[in-house]
Structure 1
Amino acid sequence: MEMEKKLKPLMFVGTGSDVGKSIITAGFCRILKQDGYRPAPFKAQNMSLNSYATPEGLEIGRAQAVQAEAAGIACRSEMNPVLLKPTGDQHSQVVLNGRPIGNQSAKTYFLETDRDYLFNQAMKAWHYLNGKYHPMVMEGAGSISELNLRDKDITNMRIARETGAATFLVADIDRGGVFASVYGSVMLLPPEERDLIAGIIINKFRGDMSLFDEGRKIMEEITGKPVVGVIPYFHNIRIEDEDAVPLALKRHHPVQGKINVAVVLFPRMANFTDFSLLEQISRVNLYFTHDISAIREADMVILPGSKNTIDDLLYLKSTGMADELVKAAQNGKPLYGICGGYQMMGTEIHDPDGVEGKVRSVKGLEILPVTTTLTGEKITRQRRFAYREGKALTNSGYEIHMGETVLSGGKPVAWFEDGTHDGCLLNEHCWGSYLHGIFDNREVVEQILKTVSPGFSEPIPDYLAFKEEQYDKLATHIREHVDMDQFYRLITHENQGQ
């Protein structure tokens, strides 16, 4: 690759949600890194319950953390300056520049929030990154052709216009209607935005690729835009997902002959990627469920994080799952909680300031001897820790929570370098921790699996090395199905590298 080439910012936008923009953005971050550039991801506004703590202790969407990892750089809050974290069907916590600024209804956010202020904050973040990285690799949100939201856009074509980005429209052919969705998305744009569309990427193709040769020609004729790639659906590349949409495609039931690990499926579950390493172990069948019988049949149960701990706890009680979880703990079935799940396992949760809603206090599952008080201050930080009685700080995770938990018994789960600690260990079968990513560590995973199968000896992957391998596989997959020469011509500034 000729490094004297000056590349335009590039942007991947979609015909709709869940068309694969996040994964494709991550793939191109890795490709550009491999080709000698220093790319950085950017998404002005993201809506997700899957978030991550930056090294500076700020919060961003998990997808941008993944994309930064693919680019080989540390993530920063500037990569996702506006993050919306749904707290209910109509309300979200608004995180600006890595810190929460309050909860708003969708109506208030879109109709009353100063959109120009948010856009200016997003562009301030963009300019900071653009001064340090080349090129910027940006991602849009949802569909680019939501006409009723066009004047409120701060993350799609308004960003493309402002940055002069070479913009690629991603369409999901697997869901059907690809010609209508692509043609409609392009033609509903005003001319100045239509001109920014550099090309089209057809994603999630299944079957014989040659069957779409005619389709590619037709699409180019009707839109006037080149189809730069048709990317096949893949099953053998594991990239952490942005949100819980793909959960519908995961297993939801136990499998005979496996170590069955049930993750309780809350309505407001957060950070479902906490279990990605467990999913890579062949003897483990990890599944997400809200079915009592599937919890009863599991060998191990995990309570994940939650964006609304009290509401999700009340949901457990109303469905009878709470009683089943208490019974499981009493019978010695391994039961572990992360963040909100850890809070639920305690004796009480207090919310004196109404951080989560109108309920000011609720009894927990009374499994762990801890009491939690929710507070308005959000703790976000990365951690190195020693697990249980260990001395070496060989494990890593991160905290994202609002609340303080006080122990009246048990032992800590994790110890930090400064002598402070986290979590409550009742016994080897039962503990809770605030540490997201705790199950990404081989020491932790090996210990919990041995509580179920003492003779467990399967090698546990090095998760960081595994992820690096997956980014490289994704880059190879995209290269094989995208015209990379055409791609580079489209994103190279004119009169350079010609």
Structure 2
Amino acid sequence: MERTNGKLRPLMLVGTGSDVGKSVLAAAFCRIFRQDGYRPAPFKAQNMALNSYATPEGFEIGRAQAVQAEAAGVPCHTDMNPLLLKPCTDSDAQVVLNGVPVGTKSASDFFRKRGREALRRTVCEAFDRLETRYNPVVMEGAGSISEINLRELDIVNMPMALHAGADVLLVADIDRGGVFGSVYGSLMLLPEPQLERVKGILVNKFRGDRALFDDGVRMMEELCGIPVLGVVPYFRDIHVEAEDSLVLEGKSREAERGKVSVAVVLLRHLSNFTDFDALERDPRVRLFYTDRPEEIASADIVVLPGTKSTVDDLRRLRSDGTAAAVLGAHRAGRTVVGICGGYQMMGRAILDPFGVESGTKRMPGLGLLPVETTLRREKRTRQVRFTLDGDEVPCRGYEIHMGETVPVPGAGLSPLNRYEDGAGEGYRLDGRCMGTYVHGIFDNPAFVDMLLAPYAQRAAVPFDYRAYKEEQYDRLADHVRRHVDMERIYEMLSRP
């Protein structure tokens, strides 16, 4: 459906709660607007996630907004997620503002009035810049819009909608039950100026015969005085990268098909788990997440992933027997790969002279690679282009880390990768033991083919993950378009 590129008002998706599907629906609308001839972009004022991404300029944003930008077909930018909170503990989080870490704060420090207006100005300025470059901006709220105890401090939900002049759709998850109460209660707790911005309701994750919910739609519209603009069925056969790690155990159950078994060690502070989406979808692979020593020992390939707290997670691996299982897998000839924090763990030692992560100045590593890491205060965040050492196939990925890893004296250089400037990166002991700082390395067929080479008899068909993702965005858009009244949404967004 080709449309004239008239200016549309921003569209904002807010929720009756967390995990109702706002992020995926935002990606769907980004794709739909792109398909219809517009140049959309995503925006979320404040995101809390360990899953982050590096922009082309070398700054950090939430992975969900990077995925939404990819669905929109535009480069990701810090203006799409100006405030990112990366939890360090149950009560502390690193604060990333406009792509740059500015410190670690407790929840009590962050949710206070002092300094809040400065944050509000910052996120509003980011939105204002974004809106001059894209049309429309697809905005996403956070959690529930009805947390009345936090209303004065809210910078991401309805106050952001008021600033943007956005038309708001309230998303509710019918699969969890209580959809009428959650929708009605969410709306009735809004003050009048905010309630006026809510133009429609989306019922998400519906199961069963849609016709049986016709009376429910009528009742909801009569009760709330707001139209239901879509009832979107639950889906399992469309795969879009998830925002948080709550889905990982489900992934381990779903990934029973395949041939080469890949165990991703389930760390407590695991971050950037979307590194493994390509492997999970690769028909040659059976990927699962686990912290059980017996499952690690039986896998063909063991991956130590990124982590927000390398020292603490390494300590836990030793205490629960997981470290011994990884070492046993290596001795048995299994493949062991470390990504970012996992790469740091595989070395001889982790040094923390500046107390970046803890008071432990030196933590012995697993000793699988002849390298050691020094944690630094400065975070390195950048997109990278590289080749595997000794290969010429171009690859790409990104770095987000606060450490420098170098070979120990006498070990010699054995890089896994070569950057465009010729610099070596990572370390490859052999074809079955290697580590790298490059997130997204599994998205590159050249690396995956090299990784699966020892298991060639069971891994026959190459897999193009980038083409696969594009197909999934189109399928997601088609799914949402079929079940949402896009004509009414376009009419709504086009009004003066």
Q: Indicate the SS of the match to 1:237.
A: coil
Distance 1:320 1:142, change over 3 A: same
Who is 2:414 aligned against?
411
Partners of 1:254 and 1:298 within 8 A in 2: no
Structure 1 gap segments, 5+ residues each: none
Q: How does 1:30-429 map to 2 (within 5 A)?
A: 30-111=31-112, 114-251=115-252, 258-392=259-393, 394-408=394-408, 409=411, 411-429=414-432
1:463 equivalent among 462, 465, 478: 465
CA distance in 2: counterparts of 1:72 and 1:252, whole angstroms: 32
Partners of 2:283 and 2:463 within 8 A in 1: no
Query: Structure 1: which amino acid aligns with 2:482?
Result: E
CA distance in 2: counterparts of 1:324 and 1:197, whole angstroms: 53
Deviations 1:292-336 (CA, angstroms, capped at 9, x unpaired): 111111111000000011011111011011111112112221000
Distance 1:4 1:91, change over 3 A: closer
CA distance in 1: counterparts of 2:464 and 2:456, whole angstroms: 21
Query: Structure 1: which amino acid aligns with 2:366?
Result: L
Q: CA deviation at 1:254?
A: 8.7
Distance 1:493 1:418, change over 3 A: same
Query: Structure 1: which amino acid aligns with 2:147?
Result: E
RMSD (Å), alpha carbons: 1.4
How many pairs are equivalent? 492
Distance 1:256 1:94, change over 3 A: closer
CA distance in 1: counterparts of 2:467 and 2:291, whole angstroms: 32
Query: Structure 1: which amino acid aligns with 2:213?
Result: F
Structure 1 residues 327-336 or 253-262, which shifts more? 253-262
Query: Structure 1: which amino acid aligns with 2:401?
Result: H
CA distance in 2: counterparts of 1:399 and 1:467, whole angstroms: 21
Partners of 2:204 and 2:234 within 8 A in 1: yes
2:491 equivalent among 466, 489, 498: 489
Partners of 2:174 and 2:205 within 8 A in 1: yes
Q: CA deviation at 1:252?
A: 5.2
Deviations 1:109-154 (CA, angstroms, capped at 9, x unpaired): 1126511111101011111111111111100000001111111101
Deviations 1:4-37 (CA, angstroms, capped at 9, x unpaired): 6431111000111111100000100010111111
Query: Structure 1: which amino acid aligns with 2:241?
Result: E
Q: Indicate the SS of the match to 1:18.
A: coil
Structure 2 gap segments, 5+ residues each: none
Deviations 1:384-418 (CA, angstroms, capped at 9, x unpaired): 111131134x1111100001001133510000111
Who is 2:438 aligned against?
435
Partners of 1:253 and 1:294 within 8 A in 2: no
Query: Structure 1: which amino acid aligns with 2:260?
Result: I
Partners of 1:336 and 1:431 within 8 A in 2: yes
CA distance in 2: counterparts of 1:310 and 1:252, whole angstroms: 29
CA distance in 2: counterparts of 1:254 and 1:221, whole angstroms: 43
Partners of 2:452 and 2:459 within 8 A in 1: no
Q: Indicate the SS of the match to 1:242.
A: coil
Q: Indicate the SS of the match to 1:236.
A: coil
Q: Indicate the SS of the match to 2:93.
A: strand
Q: Indicate the SS of the match to 1:269.
A: coil
CA distance in 2: counterparts of 1:252 and 1:380, whole angstroms: 33
CA distance in 2: counterparts of 1:488 and 1:246, whole angstroms: 33
Partners of 1:259 and 1:299 within 8 A in 2: yes
CA distance in 1: counterparts of 2:254 and 2:475, whole angstroms: 29
Deviations 1:83-115 (CA, angstroms, capped at 9, x unpaired): 000111111100000000011111111126511
Who is 1:12 aligned against?
13
Q: CA deviation at 1:197?
A: 0.3
Q: CA deviation at 1:258?
A: 2.7
CA distance in 1: counterparts of 2:189 and 2:361, whole angstroms: 48
1:480 equivalent among 482, 485, 492: 482
Counting aligned pairs with the same residue, the percent is: 54
Deviations 1:56-94 (CA, angstroms, capped at 9, x unpaired): 000000000011111110000110000000111111100
Q: Could you state the TM-score of these two structures normalised by the residue count of structure 1?
A: 0.96
